[in-house]
Structure 1
Amino acid sequence: MKYNDGPFDLVDDLAERTNGIAINKSENGTFELANTRAFRQMIFSKSYRLPTPTPHHPPMVAPPPPLTATFWTSFWKNKIPHNARNVWWRLLINKLPSGLHLHSIIPDMVEPLCRVCGTDLETSQHLLFSCPKKLEVWQAALSRYMEERTWTADYICSLFFPDPDPVKPLHDIPIFILIGTILASIWRYHHAFVRENQAFEPRTVLAAVDLAITQVCAQLAEKKRQSEEREPPPPVELPLVENNFPT
């Protein structure tokens, strides 16, 4: 006959083992010492562990030239059209949404080829300058509003970076305003092509460039007129009067 000796004095073996489970390699990296945040993160990572995506490295592109603090100061102070400044800034830091850049982020959704010409990789330079249809717009516009020279895609791109070769705009249009106005028009029609599937026709874009530059010239002329009106008139020199009275 067996007798009941009463409850056994058992050690809480499960609690000891649980408290000793390591969460990480820090000093507070066990269940007993860890905070609630570390506990939640460990449980979530165990329960909802997702497969680690394979890193996708973009093709090598030429790094942008070094940009000094002096250049950035002049860039933000110069008169650049507002609708072109952001695009210009993204070109300088190599963060334009070109096909090549987007393909490096979402390769299953965006192809690296140019979406306008469909033949070359759409780098930042190709996106704005080297694409045949966009280069046609640049060459026609610059031939109308700048001194005559050979306009290559590389040379046009260099105008947006530090220390370009000196050029002389016509009609007294500041160089930053001129190339910024052309850039803004090309960018607007590029997005109309990508988002709304509108054809990128160089003649249509060039007409928009001409209209925008005409408006810029009118605004510059009006500002000059207002500035001249605010200036005080030059002093009038009165003729000397001879005193004929006897002293």
Structure 2
Amino acid sequence: MKHLFYTLSLALILFSCKTETKPEVKTETKVEADTTKKKVEVKTKTYPENLTKVFNAHGGVDLWKSMKSLEYTQDKPDGKEVTITDLNNRKALLESENYTIGFDGTKPWFLNKTGKEFKGYDPKFGYNLMFYFYTMPFILSDDGIKFSEAEALVFEGVTYPGIKISYDNGVGATPEDIYVLYYNAETFKMEWLGYTVNFVPGIDTKELHFRRYSDWQDVNGLLLPKTITGYGFKDDKPTTPKTPNTFTDVKITKMAPEASQFVKPEKATFVE
């Protein structure tokens, strides 16, 4: 997920887990309604039971996969930043008064509108950094992901069961990243995310950082975050909360976004 961002100082180690498993693929046999009675194989992806319950608590993975466009707005120090993502191909556009960051499906690009030094997160990773945080837990339905149980998180006397997420080699920019989703044992709603980061120099790549998901909003039948709060951490445990990231004007629809907006403008530069 390769995926998390400079501004939020990502990093982490995972709890010891049990047997790692990939999503199984069940094969169903259907018979076409013609005289040839030809058999057609239909592959249906399945997930661990506890993860499926988490998906269902947030609206269901089938509804998520029917969506084609996601948009949200965040308040940044220099103004509002609007993010639009094509959910089918993950092309992205982050639009702000002072800059634009995009991903055309192959390469990220950057446009500085002020001429001043840009001190934000690296556009190479920044185009989808918050996207991966924001689209939890549904982003975990992507291909190339392996699941296993993780040691539960205990915080302020409450125990949150955990699901460890790792990646096949070659999946994403940093397949060595690890995530742990912690959920409410009664409601199965996601409560915490632990994660490691492997692209930020000087950070312990085995240490778990944390974000808390405690404020959800219903958008077209899906529970999506209204706020995500980063936490300090010590010994793979969250400590004290930081300033939350707040998401407004959230839109998720079954209509694909206009493809031309993801194309690099003439004045922008590709980021290597």
Q: TM-score, normalised by structure 1?
A: 0.26
Bigger Cα Rg = 1
Richer in helix (by share): 1
Richer in strand (by share): 2
Higher relative contact order (CA 8 A, sep 6+): 2
